[in-house]
Amino acid sequence: MTTQDEFISTLRAEYLDEAAYLLERCEETLLCLENSTDRGAALADLFRALHTIKGSGAVAGFDCIVGLAHVMEDLLSLLRNYPKATTTELVSLLLQGLDVLKERVKACKLGRVEAWDVTELKERLIEAAEHLKDAKAVIVFDDGKAATQSNAEKSHPLESEPNAAFGFFDEEPAEPVVTEKVTSEQILIEKAATEPVVTEKAVLDTAPTKESPATTAKLGAASIKVDAQRIDAVLDMVGELVIVKSQLLTRIQEKRLDPELQSAVALLDTIVRDLQDRALSIRMTPLKPTFLKLQRLARDLSLRCGKKIEFVMSGEDTELDRTMVEELADPLMHMMRNAIDHGIESAEKRRAAGKNEIGTIRILARQVGGRVEIEMRDDGGGLPRDKIIAKALEKGLIDSPDLSDREAFHLIFKPGFSTADKISDVSGRGVGMDVVKTNIERLRGNVEVRSEAGQYTSFVLSLPLTAAISDGILMIVGGRPFLVPIDAVRDLAKPENPLESRGTGVGHDVVRLKGRMLPVVTLHQWVDNTLKPQSNGMLVVVESEGRQAALLVDEVIGQMQVVLKPMANELTRCPGVAGGAIMGDGRVALVLDVQGLLFAVNGAERAAA
């Protein structure tokens, strides 16, 4: 390649990155537009962004992008001078334009530059602009109701029965429920410039964010753009450094060497821990973009379903490991679809129940201890407990309907519960709640469901701050090292009394500890049923989901920090094992997943009973 070619190639690559970034900011701005009090500024920002995308695109030689950007720019140029003319339909149209541009930029980045026909979209944008130019004056009604009531009557959205229990029983994918498109006569009416916008039809409202997003569209002066791969490579090396340091420390402590060496090693330990913390913080990224995606989805779905939805988010600045945030997007979007399709009831049903016509979906994130909790809560009809149990019995997933509320609700996560071959157009793949749960568990998180009939349904995801580094207690079972995460450990004890046996099998023994009876899990049997525990073993009391158990091991060595390595492979996937960790001597120690272990053991116990 000549230097000229190289220059152009770099220019094009940089343009695509910049365009992608600008398009994301545009979408953010557009979504907040409907409720923003300073629409003029936001629209001006949007105009400038599209103008840049157009201009730089021309220089970089992306005529396809330029064409569409130009048409959008024209529309925005009109709109910024007449913010009152912003209708929901226009916002939807612009969002569509942004989507198309985003797809095109992505395709160009991958080198897929096939022919691309956006004539229809462009025509609609041009038409909208013409319409604006002609109308000039927006039809403003004194009585907001008159204008939109006729339209509300025109569209008769079909609704899926909220009692269909989140579509878990559906044999076919749910049809999009509104067959009539929102017409351009539906206009947002403003009574006064400072009053929030009031509409009569299904529109997505956002809780006003603290600062106007339009003004924060500028890049912070203190941030820089770095290629993600480079960062990941550096962070991987920090991970390896942590392991080597751990190995070094173990060796040094075994031999009592000279004090200077000891103190140098102690200093090394401190420095590496600090580096580790900082490296982790680089990987952290706020949940806000994900929540905004959810907001966008909620808006689109609410229009399609003809249901009025209010989307409230909080804690969007809470941060999580970057890779985890990426993995969370699909499950969250799936849960939102369920909440809107099946959770929130129709306006009539809500009115009849004395509820506010506008359904609320609340998503919030917060850091609790060493974990992040994300809750999605809708004030819809709740999960139909009886129907769920009936269906599970029918499918042979459970034997008896004798279940607690929690057990009943958690049935929705069982593989095979939903027979629908749902093709979610969010992800384009078949998705079910069991896949959602598996995805969350892959991140070493878990999901809890709570619901009250007629009132609400709430999903709470609990995730570790990062999937990478774990603090654990090292134990020996049958001569092999095992680790249990420290936040699951409650107590360590020598069994005072002999174990009382209630039968054979892994979870059948019990022990009395500090006045309480705890089930004993003889890890030896779980690992290999020919292994026998030593007579002078130790008990490690662990807790998960409110239940405690005592793990019987041969020896407890101490606490250590390890990098958790996933064992994501069909051959070695094991409930109860979160992954592997490399020890100081190079051996692999299995890291326990307490929740999975107790669940598996209880399952075996129930089966044997």
Partner 1 sequence: MEANSAKAGQYLTFHLAGRPYGLPIGSVREINRIGDIAPVPQAPTFVAGVMNLRGKVIPVVNLRAKFGFQDAEHTKETCIIVIEGLEGHQVGVIVDSVAGVVDLEAGMIEPAPSMGDMSRMDFVIGMGKSESRVIILVDAVRALAKDNLAVRFNMEANQAA
Q: Give the residues lining the site for partner 1 (CB under 8 A).
A: 240, 243, 480, 526-528, 565-567, 569-572, 574-577, 579-582, 586-590, 600
Least distance (Å) between residue 362 CB and partner 1: 38
CB nearer partner 1, residue 440 or residue 590: 590
Give a three-class secondary structure readout of 420-443.
CCCECCCCCCECCHHHHHHHHHHC
Closest distance of CB 580 from partner 1, Å: 4
d(C-alpha 376, C-alpha 397), whole Å: 27
DSSP of 165-232: GGGTT-SSPPPPS--SPPPTT---B-SSTTSPPB-SS---EEPPPSS-GGGGGSPPTT-----HHHHH
Nearer to partner 1, 289 or 575 (CB): 575
Give least dist CB 527 to partner 1, A. 5
The residue count for the chain: 609
| Residue closer to partner 1, measured from CB, 49 or 563 | 563
Contact 63, 26 (CB under 8 A): no
In angstroms, what is the minimal distance from the CB of 531 to partner 1?
10
Name the phi and psi angles at 126, rounded to 5: -65, -45
Q: Which element (helix H / strand E) includes 349?
A: helix 347-352
Rounded least distance, CB 574 to partner 1, Å: 5
CA distance 133 to 131: 5
Q: Which is nearer to partner 1, 435 or 597 (CB)?
A: 597
497 vs 530, beta carbon nearer partner 1: 530
Say if CB 482 and CB 476 are below 8 A apart: yes
Q: Which of 245, 264, 339, 267 is nearest to 297 (CA)?
A: 339
Least separation in angstroms between CB 479 and partner 1: 11
Kindly list the strands in the beta sheet with 446-452, ordered across the sheet, starting from the edge strand earlier in the chain.
Answer: 205-206, 309-314, 359-368, 371-378, 456-464, 446-452
Residue 122 backbone class (left: φ over 0; alpha: ψ -120 to 50; beta: rest)? alpha
- Nearest CB to partner 1, comparing residues 397 and 567: 567
Which of 259, 586 has the CB closer to partner 1?
586
Distance of closest approach, residue 147 Cβ to partner 1, in angstroms = 56
Smallest gap from residue 563 Cβ to partner 1 (A): 8
| Nearer Cβ to partner 1 (235/588) | 588
**CA-based nearest residue to 178, from 200, 207, 196, 154:** 154
CA pair distance 597, 592, nearest whole angstrom: 7
CB of 407 to partner 1, least distance (A): 23
Q: For residues 544 and 298, what is the distance between their CA atoms, to the nearest angstrom?
A: 34
Taking a C-beta distance cutoff of 8 angstroms, is the pair 348, 128 a contact? no
309-314 and 359-368 as β-strands: parallel, antiparallel, unpaired? Answer: parallel
